[in-house]
Amino acid sequence: MRIYSYSRRDSVPNFGDELNNWLWRELLPDLDIQDANNNYILVGIGTVLNNKLKERISEHHKAFIFSSGAGYELPLTDLPSHWKTYCVRGPLTAKLLGLSKESAITDGGILLRRFYSLPEDRSLSVPGFMPHVHHAVFAGDDWSSICDLAGIKYIDPRWPVEQVMREIQSCKLLLAEAMHGAITADAVGVPWIPIVTSPRILPFKWQDWCASIQQLYSPERLPVLNPQYPRYGRGLRSGLNSVSHWSRVLIQKNWSLSKDQHASMAESLRRIAEKGHPMLSDRTLMENLTQALEAKLNQMQEDISSLN
């Protein structure tokens, strides 16, 4: 079996996508997932259920879809008959693809909780901030400096999977623009606050996942880093998304009038960490979702084994 994960055009690794290469090897040790010639492919974590997927995996591959999400590109108009869907990220993906409500469980990233939990001593824990990978690419050094000023731990989505997981695990709170940062935090029991720093962020995938854990997606918004962000990230080519972002920034007032952009952003992050409204799913619900995913995973493993 092969593992599919989205690869950026610039080849920069991204935590959410790289989770596929770590998590499935841990959870499916009995499957030969190193065999590149195998016609079976696991489509797992990521916002990958779109019209491009048929181009990105061979028409000869039998695809097994497990906890994936929709949202980017155009939606799939149909699922090929040789693809089998075990579950998807949330109810919005299920509705978009014409799947049953029962197929919507949650993002497979929560299965990390079977490997990571909160450390016993969290007395020295501090808040963390994890930007979206696009913003880490263009302004990672700036965000790192801003976090230093704010007394907040900077967590880069380009770091190795295990490093990111350890850093999130050690936080007392995560300010998350990277959705799989929030998913990891929720899985292990770290409260989190969703952040948006440009119109580039896709609300659909957040709303989809949040619905699956019975939470309302209501992010804290910050002004963009200018000129560090590219034009599309600053909203100059984003139309209504840009208008919405900037109007909500003004309403929330998560910014100051300091001429020093780094100092202003640091104060904004501090304010959100201190006065924001942290989110964390109900622990019983989280365990129930985890068990539901595990049941689907076992079913998928049995189905694949029977084909060999």
Q: Name residues whose C-beta falls within 8 Å of residue 246's C-beta, 6 or more positions apart in sequence.
A: 223, 235
Q: What is the reported pLDDT for 236?
A: 54
How far lies 86's CA from each of 41, 66, 200, in Å? Answer: 13, 5, 30
Choice between 230 and 3, residue whose per-residue pLDDT is larger: 3
Whether the link from the prior residue into 203 is cis, omega within 30° of 0, is no
Q: What is the per-residue pLDDT across 215-257, written as a single tens digit (0 to 9) for each?
A: 999 999 998 888 888 776 666 555 656 656 556 655 556 655 5
The contacts of residue 85 (CB under 8 Å, 6+ apart) are: 65, 79, 97, 99, 103
Residue range 171-186: average pLDDT? 97
Per residue in 243-273, is it b (16+ CB within 10 Å) or e — as a string? ebbbeebeeeebbeeeeeebebbbbbbebbb
Residue 307 or 160, more confident? 160
Residue 261 pLDDT? 87
Domain ranges across the chain: 2-112+285-307, 127-275
Lowest average pLDDT, out of 53-62, 122-131, 292-301, goes to 53-62
Which of these, 198, 218, 173, lies nearest to 265 by C-alpha position?
198
pLDDT tier for residue 155 given thresholds of 50, 70 and 90: very high
30 Cβ partners below 8 Å, 6+ apart?
301, 305
